[in-house]
Amino acid sequence: MALLLLILVSLCCATRSQETTDPISLDDCCKDGREKATESQDCTRIPLISESTTCRIAQEQCCASVLEEITCNNGITMAKQLGSCDDLLSGNTCETKTAKVCCECCLLGREAQKQGLACDLNLSSQCGSVFQSCCNSPESKDNSSVSGIGDQQSTQSEQCKVGPGNCAQSCIENSTCTCFSGYKLKPDGKNCEDINECLIGSHHCRPGERCINTRGSYRCQREVSCGTGYELTDNNSCNDIDECETGTHNCPVEFECQNTPGSFRCRPKVKCNMGFTQDALGSCIDINECLSVAAPCPAGQTCVNTLGSYTCHRNTMNCGRGYHLNTEGTRCVDIDECNSLDDVCGGHSCINVVGSYRCECKSGYNFNSVSKSCEDVNECRHYPGRLCAHKCDNILGSYKCSCTTGFKLASDERNCEDLNECETNPCSQECANVYGSYQCYCRRGYQLSDVDGVTCEDIDECALPTGGHICSYRCHNTPGSFHCTCPVQGYTLAPNGRSCQDIDECVTGSHTCSETESCFNIQGGFRCLNFDCPNNYRRSSENRCERLPCSENRECLALPVRITYYHLTFPTNIPVPTNIFRMAPSNMEGGDNLQVDIVDGNQAGYFATKYIDNGAVIIVQKPIAVPQDFEISVKMTMWRWMRMSTYLSKIRVFVTDEDLSNSVFLHDDKLISNP
């Protein structure tokens, strides 16, 4: 332990010659990295506790060491508990690979222990450590393997054990725990921890290689790739790729491939004769020997190139550019190019000089001394953004400005001002001028066309996704608007112009009921109602018949005491279940028993009874989708003081079309009932 601290202090002094004032030690940095690994299970974003490079390395390496240890322990646990590593075969991350190695090496150790083999297979440091730990683990030993060991070995195993609660890796005869190569003993004297060779500098990586710590060892990885034309070998060296041998070259058929370090060359298969050379396409072209560095002709002679060769001619007087021989042919005199028939300056002023000439160019042109001509100056390129407000177009000798769409050139022919497009009426209805453009918009009930953006099209409000909710009955589209209508009979349009309002014919007197009938209003119509009391009954009120005295006649006493007539109305498709009628005695006494039954008119099974406190209710148990009329009879039997009495309610139910007075998607959730 003292040696490790000495190495850490030496490393800290060597790598922090300018940071000796930092009070944080390497142990603190390593401890912080381990804590971060335990807390977040992530070493990619560790908050630095010091500006020291060495401290950052210690944080990262110690964090990675803990994560690797956790991952390896997960693999060992899977091997011991499941006896299989199949769950780790599909993963391809570094953590999954580490867990898979530890799981499989532990399985090897357990199998070696089961077969009674020695725990000393020649494996890698990490795999070997896990193998020995699982091979020597006492929890996986069976009774047969224990009974086969001699007394001397049994005594030694009692003194020196490897496994949970004992030595983590190995021990010696005096019960002292030891660690495998690449590990060091922890202060508890039992467990082992990995030695970070990269951190303490005990690795042997060469310059240009980066040290990466592994459990029980380390590996060296090249920092810079080999580059094009080379490949990295297993020993971290770069080997040339022979493209000619591997067939990865792109030489045509008439060329042959020649490998070079890091690349290749394509050599033509056909050889040229003397005086010719091959170009890049393999064609033979003439060599101009006269242009070679070593002049082929002797002094006083001129070289003349020929096809595949050259000839030498004796020198004669030759005047340079801008001169010609005088009439005597004895000397060279200046040529006055300005007086020649050719307009050498192209309309510009020409000034002759000895052996040449120059042009005085007009405004907007510059003289090119190489081509001896006046060339147009591209003012737009030379002065970008300084000549025109929007666009600059070069023309010969000058330039002109133009504007983008939506603008027009101002009077100074440089700036641009907004163009009011609305003056030309481009829109079918309304137009709003904006800076550099215009915007068409439509009046209410119309929308702008997606095709041209200027035409206004009528909005069919009835066809919109919410069109069914605009009118309660029917919607009729009109140009720029719409109107609602109601059924011809039984309804009138409400003041809001959208809902249909039921006409109460009973109130307005527009019904056709006779004097002996009573008018009952329903949605969209009315019903004429009347009833007669049966024999042995007398009418006691507008809707009730009372039984006559029976004089202890059994048949008479079995008849209902009272027959009451009710009439209800509600629209189709009301929610199911819905209470529509309640039947109960006017007062309940202790010991009373009730029974309520629908005795007639419920052949289709739309209605049912449900008992409540002190009575029962009639409910709609099936959706009623079609308007129809029902007449159901409900009998209530009550036993009080050992005496039975029956009461009969005849209920006329009129199911109408859906209520058009509200929007069609709303329903009255109130329970429909009668006293």
Q: Please write the tens of the pLDDT for every residue from 26-78.
A: 888 888 888 877 776 677 667 888 778 888 888 788 888 887 887 788 778 77
Query: How large is the average pLDDT for residues 195-200?
Result: 85
The full DSSP string for 602-652 is -TT--EEEEEETTEEEEEE-S---S-EEEEEEEEEEEEETTEEEEEEEEEE
Q: What is the DSSP letter of 139?
A: G
The topology under which CATH files domain 533-656 is: Immunoglobulin-like (2.60.40)
pLDDT at position 141 is: 45
Burial of 4 (0-12, 13-18, 19+ CB in 10 A): exposed
pLDDT at position 456 is: 92
Identify the band that residue 279 occupies on the pLDDT scale cut at 50, 70 and 90: confident
Whether the predicted pLDDT of 96 surpasses 60: yes
Q: What is the DSSP letter of 208?
A: T
Q: Which helix (H) or strand (E) holds 105?
A: helix 94-114
- Which amino acid is residue 416, in one-letter code? C
Identify the band that residue 674 occupies on the pLDDT scale cut at 50, 70 and 90: very low
Identify the band that residue 672 occupies on the pLDDT scale cut at 50, 70 and 90: very low
Whether the predicted pLDDT of 92 surpasses 90: no
pLDDT at position 145 is: 33
Burial of 534 (0-12, 13-18, 19+ CB in 10 A): exposed
Predicted model pTM: 0.36
Q: What is the CA radius of gyration of the chain?
A: 55
* CATH architecture for segment(s) 381-418: Ribbon (2.10)
Query: How large is the average pLDDT for residues 538-562?
Result: 87
Query: How large is the average pLDDT for residues 106-127?
Result: 81
Whether the predicted pLDDT of 319 surpasses 70: yes
Query: How large is the average pLDDT for residues 306-319?
Result: 77
* CB atoms closer than 10 angstroms to residue 37: 22
pLDDT at position 392 is: 92
**% of residues, the chain, pLDDT over 70:** 85
Domain boundaries, the chain: 24-141+157-222, 323-377, 381-418, 533-656
pLDDT at position 234 is: 63
Query: Are 323-377 and 533-656 in the same CATH fold?
Result: no
Query: How large is the average pLDDT for residues 552-562?
Result: 85
- Segment among 51-55, 324-328, 411-415, 626-630 with least mean pLDDT: 324-328
Rounded to whole angstroms, the Cα distance separating 105 from 122 reads 12
Which residues, in sequence order, are bridge partners of residue 631? 652
The topology under which CATH files domain 323-377 is: Laminin (2.10.25)
Rounded to whole angstroms, the Cα distance separating 163 from 179 reads 13
**Residue 442: C-alpha distances to residues 435, 447, 497, 542, 543 (Å):** 20, 6, 24, 63, 62
pLDDT at position 138 is: 65
Which residues, in sequence order, are bridge partners of residue 457? 447
Question: Cβ(341)–Cβ(321) under 8 Å?
Answer: no
Tokens (6 digits) for 135: 């091979």
